[in-house]
Amino acid sequence: MLKKWVATIDITTLEVEFDPSFKFKCVEGCGACCERLEVPLRDEDIVRIEELGYSAWEFVDYEKLFYRGDKFLGYALKKNPVTEACVFLDPETKKCKIYAHRPLACRLYPFVLVKHGHKMEIYVKEDSFCPGLNHPEGSQVTKEFIMREFGDVIEKYRKEMERAQHNSRS
């Protein structure tokens, strides 16, 4: 997978450094990533989707497992056997049926967040099928963009760091 650096955010000060030449806009009605990618599910994703009234067997593919090294990360989101796209992609409108509750991996795509100490580096996967990369109407990966798209993830890491610092002092 080719990926390139587009921004770094300092989790404590929220200062951002970004590549001004890169822009992104997810194109409405595209759905290419929902058709082509295998999506890993975290336990939290499964619980959240079940709360919408779905049963896990309807959307979890227990035959596809994700690992990082020898660490089990989770199962995959199921594909529609007819369209081969994600089960939640409406084949007519190409819209996600659970958009507001979609898994974290879907929310992050095409970005990859890598934590290094108190900094979070943000990379973009250079998938040729994604028309949102360097879209002329796209946004740069500024602080506003990062906080709007991934603010909750940054906040979670910030709280974890504060807790770790507090524990090391006490």
Q: What share of the chain is helix, strand, coil (3-state, %, to 5)?
A: 30, 30, 40
Q: In Å, what is the CA distance from 120 to each residue of 112, 113, 117, 152?
A: 10, 6, 8, 13
How far is CA 64 from its chain centroid? 19
- Among residues 5, 10, 19, 32, the one that binds ligand SF4 under rule CB under 6 A: 32
Stretch that binds ligand SF4, among 70-78, 115-123, 125-133, 137-145 (CB under 6 A): 125-133
- Among residues 6, 16, 33, 154, the one that binds ligand SF4 under rule CB under 6 A: 33
74 part of the interface to ligand SF4, by CB under 6 A: no
Q: Cα 121–155–28 angle (5° rounding)?
A: 70
141 part of the interface to ligand SF4, by CB under 6 A: no
Q: How far is the CB of 7 from ligand SF4 (least distance, A)?
A: 17
31 part of the interface to ligand SF4, by CB under 6 A: yes
Residue whose C-alpha is closest to residue 30's, from 118, 167, 130: 130
Which residues in this chain contact ligand SF4 in the complex, by CB under 6 A? 26-27, 30-33, 109-110, 130-132
